[in-house]
Structure 1
Amino acid sequence: MASQLHQRSGFARTDTDKVSPEDENVAPTSALDSEKAFDRTPDIAYLGDESPLFDASKEDHFGETAVLTDAKDVLTHVIHVDDDPSLSPWTFRAFFLGIGLAIFASVLQEIYYFKPQAIYVSIVFMTVIGYALGEFMSFIPRIGPVGKFLNPFPFNSKEHAFIVIMASAAATNAVSTEILAAQRLYYNMDPNAGAAIFLVISSQLLGFGIAGLLRSVLVQPTRMLWPINIPIVTLIETLHRDKRETRFRLKVFWIVFGILFVWEIIPEWIFPVLQGVSIFCLAKQNSLLFTNLFGGSSGNEGLGFLSVCFDWQYIASLGSPMWLPLYTLTNSTIGYLLCIVLFMGLYYGNVWESQNFPFLSQLLYDNSSNSTSFSPYNLSLILTPDNEINRAGLEQNGVPYLTGTYIGYLITTNMGLTATIVHMFLWNFDDIKAGWAFLAPSNLRKLLQPSFWKFWQGGKSLEEHKRQVLEDPNMDPHYKMMVQSGYSEVPDWWYGLVLFTSFVVGLGTLYGIQSTLPWWGYIISNLFALLFILFFGAQMGLTGFQFNQQPIIQMVAGYIHPGKPLANMYFTVFGFNGVQQGQWLCRDLKVAQLVHLSPKSTFTAQMTGAVIGAIFNYVMMKTIVTNQFEILTSIEGSNIWSGQNVQQYNTLAIAWSIAGDMFSIGARYQWVTIAYLIGFIVPVPFWLIYRYTKIRFFNYINLSIILWYMGWLFVGINSSILSYFAIGFFAQFYLRKYRPALFVKYNYLVSAALDGGTQVIVFILSFAVFGGGGVAHDFPTWGGNNGGVGNGKNLDYCMFNPANG
C-alpha cells in the first residue's frame, strides 16, 4: 500500500493545510519554466496534484521557494530533469550484481511468504545494497583487459538502476508457488519439477507482456505518478550526485542501518515479547476477550488493539509508513478502526455461529466444532481421487464452515473491489477512457490491415514517435527528455512475443501437470488479467494503493469450474498473479523512466529478473514446505513460520468450488456474493454529494481503501498496527508540517535504512537460527521469550486458547 497522490482520487486541500507566510508571497513555479530548474536539488517533500492535500515547499540554491501544486511539480522538483546519456548500464558489473541480488530478493521474498505476517522485500533496501556492492566493485583496479572488464568506469546511476530493476522483478512470491505448496500440503501431490518451474516462469511473464503493451497508458503520462517510486528514485539521485552534498546524509543512513541490523536480533530472536507489548494482556492474562481484542503478537491471535510493537519487520511489513501520505493513512486508519468494530461484533454477536470456531483462522471447519474444541474439515472426505468435489461425500459430511471474521474480510474486500472500479470511473474516467482507446473504430480498422501483423517490419519510425510524444501535453517531462535525447523505445512486438510465448508455455504445462483447468478457462483467466491490469494498474499509478483482486478471481473460477478446487487455484494463478506482475512491471518501468534508464536495458533487466525469481521461488518453496510441514498445516503456526497464505488460498478454492452451497443467494454466506453488488453503489452517494456541494470531506474519503482495511486484520500478526500508524502520522503530519527541513532531508533515507538493516539481518537469521535451511535453534526460554505457540503460550502473555491445540 503505497502513497495516494491524485487529487481526484480523494485529495483535497483543507483549511488547516496552510502555506508558510514566506511562501504565500511567492508564485508557484514549474521546474520546466526555467533552465535554472534543471539544477535544483531534490531537497523537498513531495506529494500533491491539482489541489494538494498538503503543500511542500523547497528552497533551492538560488534562495527561491517553490510550492508543489501538481504531479508535474513533483516530477520536476523532487527529481532532477537532467540526464547524461553517455552513462551505460551494459557492464559485467551490472549483470553480476543484478543476478546476485535477484537471487537474494527472490529467496527472501519466498521466505517472507511463509511468515505469520505478509511482508514485502523493500526495493529501497535493494537500492541501498546494490549501491554498496557496486561501489565496492568500483575499487577493482582497472589494469589490463580483466580489470577493465570487471570495472570499466566508476559505478554510475544507470548501472545502479539496472541492478535495482532486475532485483525488483525477482522480488515477488509467485502465486503459482502457492498452489504447488498447497498440492504438497493438502493434496499429496508433487508435480514434476521441470513442469512446475516452467509453470512459474510463464505465470510470471504473462502479466509482464500484458502490462508492457499498456505502458503508454499506465506509465508514460505525467498523471501516472506511481508514488511508491519517489523514495527509490530520490535515493538513487542522492547516492549518485555530488558526494559533498550527500556525505552527511549517507553517514546518517549507515548509522541507522547498523543500529537496526543489531537491534532486530533482539525482538526477532532474543526478546520476542517486543514484537507486541500489550499492557492489557499483561494485566489480565486469563481472558480470551482480552486475547481477541488486545492480543496480536502471534499469528491469528487477535486484533492487537493498543499493542505496541518494537520490531520494524512487522511494523513495515506492507511498506514503510514513513512515506505513506496522510491521505492514505487517514483512510486506512478509518478502515482499521471499523475493522475492529466489525470483527468484534461478528464474533460476539455469534453471527454465522462464529463462537464455535477460532476468532481468526483461514481454515475450513466442520459442524462438530465448538468453543472448546475446533475441528478442521477433513477435505479428503469430499474429494475424489482426481481431486474434484465428491457430492455424495459433501452431503454426508455437511457444508464446511468459515470463521466469522474471515467472512467479514471476504464481504468488505468484495465490496471494496467493485467500489474501486466505480471510484475509478467516477473520479478518473479520462484515464480509464485512454486505456481503452485501442478499441476506437480507427484503431480497430488497423487490425484488418496486413501491415499491422507484419511486426518484423517494426512500428512507428523514431521521428514519428518523437513528434507524438513531444507534442503531447500529458506526457511525463522525463519521458519527453529521454525521447528528445534519442533513447530507442522497445517495440511493442517484444512485449507481444513475451505474452505469446508465456501463454503457449503456460497452456502446455497446465495439461502436463494435470491441473484440471481446461484451455478455455485458461483463456478467460488471462482476459481477467488484461481487464484488471488496466483498472487496478491505473489506480496504483494514480494513488499508490494496491487492491487484492484474488477473492473475485477465485469466485469467478468457482462458478465457471464448479467442483474443481485445483482448477480454481490454477485459474487464480493466471488471473490474479497476472495482475500483480503487471503492476510490478509498470512500477519498475516508471522507476526506469524517472532515472532515465534506456527502455531496452530496462526490458532486459525485468525479463532476466523475472525468470531468475521464478526459479528460486520454486526452489525455496520446496525447501520450506519440506522442513516446516507440520507448522504450515497448523492453525496458528508459530511466530516464525506460518502456512496462513497457503491455507487461505486452498480454503477459498474449496469454498468457491461449492459456491452454490456456500455463497449463492439463499446459502449460509450469501452476503459474500451480494457484497459485490453493494460495492457498485457505495461510492456513488459520496461522488454525487461532492459534485453538487463541493464539500471537501466527500472528496477526501476513498471508500475502496476504507473497505479494504475493514477486513485487514483477518490474518497474521496485528500487534504492529498502532506503531505503524503512529510512525506514519508522526512523519507525514508532524515532521512534514512542522519540521519540513528534517522531513525533506532524512525521512526517506531513514526509512530506507530501517528497511535495509532489518531485512539483511532477517535473511541471515532465517537460515542461521529459524530453520529456513533445516534445524531451528531456539533462544533459551526466559521472561522475554516464553516459547510462544510451541509452548502453548502467546508471546504477549495474552491467554492462549487451548482449543487451538
Structure 2
Amino acid sequence: MASTEHVPARQDSEFTDDIEKKAHDSSDEKIGYVDTVTYSDDAEEELQLKQAEELEARLASGAAVDSEYLVKDAHDVSIKVLSVRDDYELPVVTFRMLFLGLGFSAFGSVLAQLYYFKPQTLLVSESFLLIVIYFIGKGWEKVLPSHGIFRFLNPGPFNIKEHGAALIMAYTASNSATAIQVISVQDLYYNNQLNPGVAIFTLLASQLIGYSFAGLLQEALVYPSICFWPTVITPASIFQALHFDGGLGSKRTKIFWALFTFIFCYEIFPQWIFPVLTGVSIFCLVDHTSATMRNVFGGASNNEGMGLLAACFDWNLVTSANLYTPLWTQLNQDIGVVFTYILMCAVYYGNIWQGLKFPFMSQAIFDINGNQYNQTAILTNNKFDPVKFAEVGPAYFSSTNALYFITANLAMGATITHVLCFYWEQLLPFFRMMNPWNKNHSVTHDEHFTAMKRYSKVPRWWFLSLLAIAYAMAQATDYTGHSNFTWWQLTVILFLSMFFTTAYCTTSAILGYQQFSTQLDGFYSMIGSYMAPGDPVANMYAALYGSQPTVQGITLLGDLKLGQYLKIPPKVNFLVQILGCVVGALLNYVMELSIVKNQRTALLSISGTRLWSGQNAQSFNSNAISWGALGREMFSPGKTYYMVPVSLAIGAIFPIIQYGLYRKWPKSAFLKNFNTSVVLQYSCFLSVGINTSVNTSMLLGVVSQWWVRNRYPRAFTKYNYIVAGALDGGTQVISFILNLAVFGAAGTAVPFPQWWGNDANYSADRCLAPAS
C-alpha cells in the first residue's frame, strides 16, 4: 500500500532521476516488491503536485499563456481554478470553529425547513452560509483579544480550515431530511403526530445511514480527479479568494463583494416589490384570461405552467448552477426540457389518462370527477380496504404528474446502465480499493489527494460501526413508531439504496448532475408496494430509507471533496459532518412542527399560496397512497398507469444502445457525451414548481460554459466561479431576511401594497391564476 507520510518537496530533477532509475532497474529485473512500487508511485504523484504548484504560480502572476488558462476537463478545473496549497500548521478544531459551525448548523437547518414548505423548493446555498460565517469569523478575529486566556477564544486570524470545517458542519445540517416528509404527511393527512423521541431517532437513523454510505464510497468517488464534484468548485473558489487572494484588496475579492452588494439590493424587487420580474411572459401580458396561455407560457407561480419563452430576472430562481455545471451536462438537460414542452402538451391536450378532467399540473390524486381523492375513505386502520374502494372508485393523477413518474423511472433505469457502460473502466480501480483484501495499489493522480497524504485517513471501521448503529436505530424506530415496516423489508431496501447511491453519486461526482429525491421516492414506493401491499404508512418508510441515504450521500460526499480541496484533515471532516447531521435532524423536526401548525390550510391546498405550499408533502403522500394503498389498482398490468413500473426496465436499454453506437464510432463527441439518463430525467422536468427560470438558465449556461470558457479563458478561470458565488450569496442573504421580515416565517406576513406588478388577482407573471 502507498505510504501516508508526506514526502518533502524536492526539485524536478530529483524526481525525474528517481523515476528514470526505477525504469532502468525494471529493465534488468521484474519489480516485485510493494515498497518499490510505492516509492515510484509516490515520487510520480509528488512530481505532479510540484508541477501543479508551478502552473498555479504562473496563472496567478499572469505569466501563463491563454492555452494554459483554458479549462478543458475535470483535472483542469481542479488545478487551474483551485489552489493545491496547504498551510499545514493552521489550527482547525478551535472553539471559534465549533461555535460558528454549531450556530450555523441550527440556522441552516431552520432555513432549509422553511424552503421545504415554499412554492419553489429551494436549497440552502453553500455560498450563503460561507459568506455569513466569514463575516462573523473575521469580526470575531478583530474584536476579541487574542492573547493570554483569550487565546482559547481567539486563536488568531480566522483561517481557511476553520472556515471550511464550520461551513461543512453547517451545510450538512442545511437540508430538509426526507424523514420530515414522513412526519409531516402523517400529521397533515393521517392526523397522527409521531412521538418526539421516535421522530427524532428516525431522522437521525436515515441521515447517518447516508453518511455511512458516503464514507464507504470516498475512495472511489472523492480521491480521484475524474470525480471533481462540479457543485463544490464554486464554494472552494470563494474560500480561496477570501483567504488566499490577499484580503479585500485583490481584484477577485472586490468583484465578489461588488456583485454580492448589487444582488442583495436588487433581489428585494423580484421577490417582494415587483414579482412580475420572476417571470416576464409576453403572451400572459397580452392575455391573462386564457388557461391555455397560462399552461404553456405561464410559470411564475407554483404549479402554474411550463414557462415556454418566458424570461426570469430573479436570481433566487435562476441560481448559479448554470455557471458551474459542465456544458455537456447542461446541453443534455436542455434537450430534456425541449422534450418536456412537447410531451407535457401531448399528454394533457391529447387527453391521455383522461388528463383534461384534472389540473394541468398537480401532485395530488383525484377521483374521476376531478375532485381530490378521499384517501381516508378507502382505508381501514390505515390499510387498503377493497370494499370501501369499490364504493369510492379508482384514483387518478394529473396527466403531467403521471408522465413525470414514467420519465423518472426511465431515467432511473438509464442511470444504472449509463454508469456501468461509460464510467466503469475509469472507476473500477478505485472501487477495488474499497475491498479490504485487495492487495493492488491504484495511483490516484490527483494533486489535492497527494497533498492530503500527510493526514491520517478515517478508518473504514468507523463508517461500518456508524452504519451498524444507524441500522439498529432504524429497526428500533420502525417497530416503536408502528410503521408496519418489518426488519427484512428495511434490510432489502438498504441494500438497494446502497446500489443506487453508488450510481447517483457517480453522476454527481463526474457530471454535477444530481437526481431528484421525488424520483427516488417513486421508485422505492413501487418496491414497497410489493413488500407491503395495501399499506401506505409502510410504503412511506420504504421511500424514506431508500431515498434519504442517496440524497444524504450525495451531499456528504461533495463535502468530503470540498474538505480535500481545502486540505481539512479527514478526521476533522468526520467530526463536523456527524455534528451537522445531529443538529440538523433536531432543528428540522422543531421547525416542521411549527410550520405545519401555523400554515396547515395553505399546506393542504392544491396550489398553496405565493408564500407557502405543501407540494412536497402532497407528492410524497400521493406516492404512498397510489403505491402503498392502490398499487395493484393503478399500476398492475392492464391498469391505467401500468407503464410506470415497466418504464424502469425500458430506461435501462437506452444507454446500452448508445454505448454500442459509441464503440462503433468512438470519435463521436456527441455519442461520448450524450447522456440518456439526464435527458430522460428532464423530459418532464416542468411538471411541478416555478418554471420561468429555465430559459434564462439555459442561455446563461451556454454563455458561461461555452462562449466565455473558450473565448475568454483567463476571465473564466479567474472569475466565473467567484461571480457564481457572489450572486448566490447575496441572493440567499436577502432571501432569508425577507422570509423573516415580510413573508411570515417569523409571524405575520407583510405583503407589499398591491399594484400592477403585484396583482394578487393573477399569477406572478399576470397569467390566469391556477385553481386553488
Q: Same fold (TM over 0.5)?
A: yes
Match of 2:336 in 1: 335
Asked if the contact 2:458–2:571 (Cα under 8 Å) also holds between the matched residues in 1, the reply is yes
2:172 touches 2:584 (CA, 8 Å); kept in 1? yes
Render the CA deviation track for 1:99-123: whole Å, top value 9, x for unaligned: 1111111111111111112211111
Change (3 A) 1:220 1:740: closer
Q: Which residue of 2 aligns with 1:770?
A: 743
Match of 2:446 in 1: 476
**Counterpart check, 1:157 vs 2:160:** yes
Structure 1 residue 800 corresponds to structure 2 residue 772 = no
Residue 666 to residue 136, structure 1, CA distance change in 2 (3 Å): same
Instruction: Spell out, residue by residue over 1:124-171, the C-alpha distance to the aligned partner (whole angstroms, 9 max, x if none).
Output: 222222222211111134355442112111111110110111011111
Distance 1:413 1:63, change over 3 A: closer
Paired residue type of 1:520: W
Partners of 2:307 and 2:513 in 1: how far apart?
23
Q: 1 CA distance for matches of 2:259 and 2:124? A: 18
Question: Does the Cα contact within 8 Å between 1:257 and 1:756 map onto a contact in 2?
Answer: yes
CA distance in 1, matches of 2:149, 2:276: 52
Is 1:690 equivalent to 2:693 in the alignment? no
Displacement, 1:738? Answer: 2.4
Separation in structure 2 between the aligned mates of residue 176 and residue 387 of structure 1, nearest angstrom: 19
Tell me what 1:409 maps to: 404
Equivalent-residue separation in structure 2 for 1:246 and 1:143 (angstroms): 24
- Distance in 2 (alpha carbons) for counterparts of 1:520 and 1:378: 32
Which moved further from structure 2: 117-126 or 395-404?
117-126
Structure 2 counterpart of 1:770, which letter? F
Q: Secondary structure at the match of 1:516?
A: coil
Paired residue for 1:502, among 470, 495, 498? 470
1:71-102 deviation line (CA, Å, top 9, x unaligned): 43432333222312111211111111111111
Which whole-Å CA distance do the structure 2 matches of 1:78 and 1:71 have between them? 10
Task: List aligned pairs for 1:514-663, cutoff 5 A.
Answer: 514-548=482-516, 549-657=520-628, 658-663=630-635
Cα offset, 1:300, TM superposition? 0.4
> Letter of the aligned partner of 2:487 in structure 1?
W
With 763-772 and 568-577 compared, the bigger mean Cα shift is at: 763-772
Query: Is the Cα contact below 8 Å between 1:43 and 1:744 reproduced in 2?
Result: no
Question: Counterparts of 1:34 and 1:146 in 2: how far apart (Å)?
Answer: 40
Structure with the bigger percentage of helix: 2
The answer on whether the counterparts of 1:293 and 1:303 sit within 8 Å (CA) in structure 2 is yes
Tell me by how many angstroms 1:425 deviates. 1.1
Structure 1 residue aligned with 2:695: 722
Matching of residues 63-74 of structure 1 within 5 Å: 65-66=67-68, 68=71, 70-74=73-77
Deviation string, structure 1 residues 170-203 (Cα, Å, up to 9, x no partner): 1111000011111111100111122211211111
Asked whether the equivalents of residues 146 and 155 of structure 2 are also in contact (C-alpha less than 8 Å), the reply is no
Q: Which moved more, 1:500-509 or 1:648-657?
A: 500-509
Task: Output the amino acid matched with 2:768.
Answer: M
Contact 1:214–1:435 under 8 Å retained in 2: no
- Larger mean Cα displacement after TM superposition, 589-598 or 743-752: 743-752
1:674 and 2:689 aligned: no
Aligned-partner residue type, residue 322 of structure 2: P
How many residue pairs get matched? 723
Aligned to 2:388: 393
Q: Secondary structure at the match of 1:473?
A: coil
The one-letter code matched in structure 2 to 1:115 is K
Partner of 2:26: none
Report the 3-state secondary structure (helix = DSSP H, G, I; strand = E; otherwise coil) of the residue aligned with 2:396. Answer: coil
Deviates further, 340-349 or 754-763: 754-763
Asked if the contact 1:297–1:304 (Cα under 8 Å) also holds between the matched residues in 2, the reply is: yes
Kept in 2: contact 1:208–1:582 (CA 8 A): yes
* TM-score normalised by the chain length of structure 1: 0.86
Counterpart of 2:590 in structure 1: which amino acid? V
Distance 1:293-1:64 versus aligned 2 partners, 3 A rule? closer
Q: Quote the residue 2:284 is aligned against.
A: 281
Given that 2:182 and 2:541 are in contact with CA atoms closer than 8 Å, whether structure 1 keeps it comes out as yes
TM-score (ref. length: structure 2): 0.90
Separation in structure 2 between the aligned mates of residue 145 and residue 513 of structure 1, nearest angstrom: 52
Q: Cα gap change, 1:700/1:34 in structure 2, threshold over 3 Å: closer, same or farther?
A: closer
Task: Return the alpha-carbon distance in structure 2 between the equivalents of residues 491 and 519 of structure 1.
Answer: 28
Report the counterpart of residue 347 of structure 1 in structure 2: 348
Choose the corresponding residue for 1:88, options 81, 87, 91.
Answer: 91
Tell me the distance in 2 between the aligned counterparts of 1:532 and 1:681. Answer: 17
Amino acid at match of 1:767: L
2:379 alignment partner, one of 383, 399, 419: 383
- Alpha-carbon separation, structure 1, partners of 2:459 and 2:48: 32
The answer (yes or no) to whether the contact 1:223–1:474 under 8 Å persists in 2 is no
* Runs of 5+ unmatched residues, structure 2: 1-43
Structure 2: distance between partners of 1:388 and 1:480 = 56
Q: Give the deviation of 1:400 after TM superposition.
A: 0.4
Q: RMSD value over aligned CA atoms?
A: 2.3
**1:434 offset after TM fit, Å?**
4.7
User: Partner residue of 1:215?
Assistant: 218
| C-alpha deviation, 1:542, in angstroms | 1.8
Q: Is the contact made by 1:238 and 1:246 (CA closer than 8 Å) also made in structure 2?
A: no
Assess if the C-alpha contact under 8 Å between 2:101 and 2:165 holds in 1.
yes
- 2:429·2:442 contact (CA, 8 Å) conserved in 1? no
Give the 3 Å change call, closer, same or farther, for CA 644–34 of structure 1 in structure 2.
Answer: closer
Give 3-state SS (helix, strand or coil) of 1:254's partner: helix
Instruction: Pick the aligned partner of 2:686 from 709, 713, 722.
Output: 713
Aligned match for 2:673, one of 677, 693, 700: 700
5+ residue gaps in structure 1?
1-28, 45-57, 370-374, 444-463
- For the pair 1:430 / 2:445, whether they are aligned, the reply is no
Q: Distance in 2 between matches of 1:339 and 1:312?
A: 23
Question: Do the aligned residues in 1 keep the contact of 2:141 with 2:158 (CA within 8 Å)?
Answer: yes
The answer for the alignment partner of 1:191 in structure 2 is: 194
For residues 596 and 304 of structure 2, the distance between their equivalents in structure 1, rounded to whole angstroms, comes to 23
Query: Which is worse superposed, 572-581 or 488-497?
Result: 488-497
Instruction: For 1:187, give the aligned amino acid.
Output: Y
Assess, with a 3 A threshold, how the Cα gap between structure 1 residues 146 and 628 changes in structure 2: closer, same or farther.
farther
Which whole-Å CA distance do the structure 2 matches of 1:680 and 1:143 have between them? 60
The residue that corresponds to 1:132 in the other structure is 135
Tell me by how many angstroms 1:31 deviates: 10
1:492 aligns with 2:492: no
Question: What residue in structure 1 maps to residue 53 of structure 2?
Answer: 38
